[in-house]
Amino acid sequence: MSPEITIVIPMYNEEDCLEATLQVVRSEAEKVTDSFEILCIDDGSTDRTPELLRQASAVDARVIPVELSRNFGKEAALAAGLDFAQGDAVVILDADLQHPAHLLTDMVAAWRAGADVVNGVKHSRGREGRIYGLLAKTFNALMGGATRNGDFRGASDFKLLDRQVVDAIRACPERHRFFRGLVAWVGFRTEDIPFHVQERAAGDTKWSKRALVRYSLRNLLSFSALPLRLIAVAGFSTLVLAAMMAGWTLFRYLRGDSLSGFPTVILLQLMLGGLLLTSLGVISLYLAEMFEELKRRPVYLYRAPRTSDRRADADTE
């Protein structure tokens, strides 16, 4: 029989957090339902995460480990979570307890009262650098425009989704997935619950600065064709400008004014060159995204447990 609630936790090298997190999540879940599963997606961890997960699931069958074949990134781990989840509602939660698990009660209550999506919204952003905060704000503002649905300020992956929302998201065929964006895009009856971002329970953030910038850029590209449209606007404006300058030049020629303007020529060359190269660059970015999508490779690969795993666990105990 399928459980009422599935709690999906993506995990990448979380051996320091894992046990405490499972403990907290389990006790919070027991408060709201007697039918739940905790789906732990091991995103190709290289530490003892998979082993600890197997041990936890041997003790408590409600803990279900899903092992990916390598590190595919948090988005892929979330996609795997939605695919494997059986519950009527799915709650997504970080493994480091930065998303307060005690809000589970409120989220489930809101769902039972009729909400299809319950968003955890960051009320305070916890400890973040100023530049990081500013970049995050810019990204969220752009993203809000791109999905045409709402407000990404304070958006987080801490969410509860009803079964039909999960199925709607799983039906989105794109390979490049941006969970928050997809949830905003599918719509449904949405409710927000504010929360304060906690300190990471243990270990370090799994994101490098470079990975974050790449992630933001690709998400914007996958949700918005605005940069492409801007190229068209820039091209057309240049044409209008050129026509005006041609008119002006002809006018001066007919009046017999001599034309001086070597710097103008150079400047125009540079401007046009810059414009052309930038446009080409933007088009290339989209082309690269399309190339990735076209290959239609799976978003993640699942590694089925083998008997040798259990033997290895027994050896370490």
Instruction: Report in angstroms how near the CB of residue 125 gets to ligand UDP at its nearest.
Output: 11
Does the footprint of ligand UDP cover residue 50 (CB under 6 A)? no
Does the footprint of Mg ion cover residue 16 (CB under 5 A)? no
Residues in 93-112 that interact with Mg ion by CB under 5 A = 94, 96, 98
Distance from C-alpha of 250 to C-alpha of 256, rounded to nearest angstrom: 10
Closer residue to Mg ion (CB): 178 or 223: 178
Instruction: Report in angstroms how near the CB of residue 54 gets to ligand UDP at its nearest.
Output: 17
The CA–CA distances, whole Å, from 106 to 90, 118, 192 equal 14, 9, 10
Distance from C-alpha of 109 to C-alpha of 175, rounded to nearest angstrom: 33
Could you tell which of Mg ion, ligand UDP, none binds residue 36, using a CB distance below 5 to 8 A set by kind? Answer: none
Q: Which of 119, 121, 157, 166 is nearest to 5 (CA)?
A: 166
Residues in 63-102 that interact with ligand UDP by CB under 6 A = 71, 73-74, 77, 94-96, 98
- Give the pairing type, strands 302-303 and 5-11: unpaired
Could you tell which of Mg ion, ligand UDP, none binds residue 43, using a CB distance below 5 to 8 A set by kind? Answer: ligand UDP
Does the footprint of ligand UDP cover residue 14 (CB under 6 A)? yes
Three-state DSSP at 174 gives coil
Could you tell which of Mg ion, ligand UDP, none binds residue 12, using a CB distance below 5 to 8 A set by kind? Answer: ligand UDP
Q: Is 43 exposed, middle or buried (0-12, 13-18, 19+ CB in 10 A)?
A: buried
For 277-293, give one letter per residue: b (16+ CB within 10 A) or e. Answer: eebeebeebeeebeeee
Instruction: Report in angstroms how near the CB of residue 285 gets to ligand UDP at its nearest.
Output: 23
Instruction: Report in angstroms how near the CB of residue 49 gets to ligand UDP at its nearest.
Output: 9
Strands of the sheet containing 302-303, edge to edge, are 190-196, 117-124, 155-162, 89-92, 5-11, 36-42, 63-68, 302-303
Could you tell which of Mg ion, ligand UDP, none binds residue 154, using a CB distance below 5 to 8 A set by kind? Answer: none
Residues in 188-207 that interact with ligand UDP by CB under 6 A = 205-207
Chain positions contacting Mg ion, by CB under 5 A: 94, 96, 98
User: Where do contacts with ligand UDP occur on this chain (CB under 6 A)?
Assistant: 10-12, 14, 43, 71, 73-74, 77, 94-96, 98, 205-207
